[in-house]
């Protein structure tokens, strides 16, 4: 195997698929519209602080796609979802939905953005009041929902439940249902993680509609959309004021911060060296195996783009 990570990774795809009517390049996924179907290719791009990093991470797309499929199958009893099949390790095919323009972010712990807000002295996040006396990574008395508007480019913006309804971004009836689904999905994700010795710290869900029906869309409970801790040493680490071991992208964000980048104007994006790229790849595979309880089987990366295109076309 080549030591060059790019030789084993998908930076982007530009297929011309039969019946294709639109193509959209997201931060991580390349999305093809074919009538009422969507084909989502999980690339190996990685983003942090709402910026795409210059180097792809081998096997990351496969990890994301297969974890998402695993959890979408496990939550169909809570809410219907868009996924129909996965014809390739990096590909998901399903229903095209009209997406709600908000992400439903739910946080069980005072970590990441919640902690940065809290540490700054603020006690209200997205209209939700956080209790006094919290330390980083403390559990909230109840999970809090902190929605964000979805940005095509740049930063997603925090927004409150009241603003979403007042501005007509989502109807009150639909928003109430989105909150119910979000809490039920987070509860299921929490239980599934606990069974694997993990803590689901926070996550986000995206929803869409077909007619009057709400569907869960995109990915769920992946390391790109979620943060996990190991449960085993959580209480002890909290008591001693030690850092928690993350299974998420947080260690990538920490590396970027250490190298002078937080996505702010005027900052230069550092380029990850080969050894760190492979370390990130290993961490993604570790999360796959920990959260699903399954052994990760690396797909053949010799002619990765040809493999993906061939498998999509065979499935259409």
CA distance 307 to 136: 44
Could you tell me the CATH superfamily of domain 99-247? Answer: ATP-grasp fold, B domain (3.30.470.20)
Neighbours of 272 (CB within 10 A): 21
The answer to whether the CB of 62 falls within 8 A of the CB of 224 is no
Q: What are phi and psi of 251, to 5 degrees?
A: -70, -25
The answer to whether the CB of 46 falls within 8 A of the CB of 52 is yes
pTM of the model as a whole: 0.90
Q: Are strands 139-145 and 47-48 parallel, antiparallel or unpaired?
A: unpaired
| Nearest of 51, 40, 37, 36 to residue 15 by alpha carbon | 40
The answer to whether the CB of 247 falls within 8 A of the CB of 228 is yes
| Four-residue CA torsion sign, 113, 114, 118, 123 | positive
Q: Which residues pair with 247 in a beta bridge?
A: 228
CA distance 218 to 104: 12
Kindly report which listed range (28-32, 229-233, 241-245, 246-250) carries the lowest average pLDDT score.
246-250
Q: What are phi and psi of 12, to 5 degrees?
A: -160, 165
pLDDT, residue 151, reads: 66
What is the arithmetic mean of pLDDT over 200-205? 97
Residues in the chain: 316
CA distance 296 to 95: 27
Percent of the chain residues past pLDDT 70, beyond the cut: 98
- 56-97 per-position pLDDT tens digit: 999 999 999 999 999 999 999 999 999 999 999 999 999 999
Long-range contacts of 183-189 (CB under 8 A, 24+ apart): 183/106, 183/143, 183/145, 184/78, 184/79, 185/75, 185/78, 185/79, 185/216, 185/220, 186/106, 186/108, 186/143, 188/74, 188/75, 188/78, 189/71, 189/220, 189/221, 189/226
Alpha helix (H) residue ranges in 75-154: 113-119
Q: For all residues of the chain together, what is the average pLDDT?
A: 94
- 146-179 per-position pLDDT tens digit: 999 976 555 679 999 999 999 999 999 999 999 9
């Amino acid at each position: 195997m080549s030591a060059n990570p790019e030789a084993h990774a998908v930076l982007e795809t530009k297929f011309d698929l039969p019946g294709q009517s639109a193509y959209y390049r997201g931060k991580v996924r390349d999305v093809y519209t074919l009538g009422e179907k969507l084909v989502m290719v999980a690339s190996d791009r990685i983003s942090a602080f709402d910026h795409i990093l210059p180097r792809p991470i081998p096997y990351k797309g496969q990890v994301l796609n297969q974890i998402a499929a695993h959890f979408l199958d496990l939550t169909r009893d809570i809410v219907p979802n868009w996924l129909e099949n996965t014809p390739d390790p990096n590909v998901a095919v399903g229903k095209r939905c009209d997406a709600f323009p908000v992400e439903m972010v739910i946080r069980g712990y005072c970590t990441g953005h919640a902690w940065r807000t809290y540490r700054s002295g603020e006690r209200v996040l997205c209209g939700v009041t956080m209790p006094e006396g919290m330390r980083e990574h403390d559990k909230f008395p109840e999970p809090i929902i902190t929605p964000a508007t979805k940005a095509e480019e740049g930063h997603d913006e925090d927004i409150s439940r009241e603003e979403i309804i007042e501005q007509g971004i989502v109807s009150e009836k639909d928003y109430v249902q989105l909150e119910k689904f979000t809490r039920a999905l987070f509860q299921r994700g929490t239980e599934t993680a606990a069974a694997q010795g993990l803590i689901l710290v926070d996550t986000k869900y995206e929803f869409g509609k077909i007619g009057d029906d709400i569907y869960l869309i995109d990915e769920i409970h992946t390391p790109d959309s979620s943060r996990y801790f190991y449960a085993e040493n959580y209480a002890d680490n909290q008591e001693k004021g030690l850092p928690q071991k993350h299974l998420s992208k947080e260690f990538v964000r920490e590396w970027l911060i250490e190298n002078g980048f937080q996505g702010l104007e005027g900052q230069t994006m550092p380029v990850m060296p080969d050894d760190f790229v492979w370390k990130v790849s290993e961490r993604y595979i570790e999360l796959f195996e920990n959260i699903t309880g399954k052994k990760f089987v690396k797909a053949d990366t010799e002619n990765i783009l040809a493999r993906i295109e061939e498998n999509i076309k065979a499935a259409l």
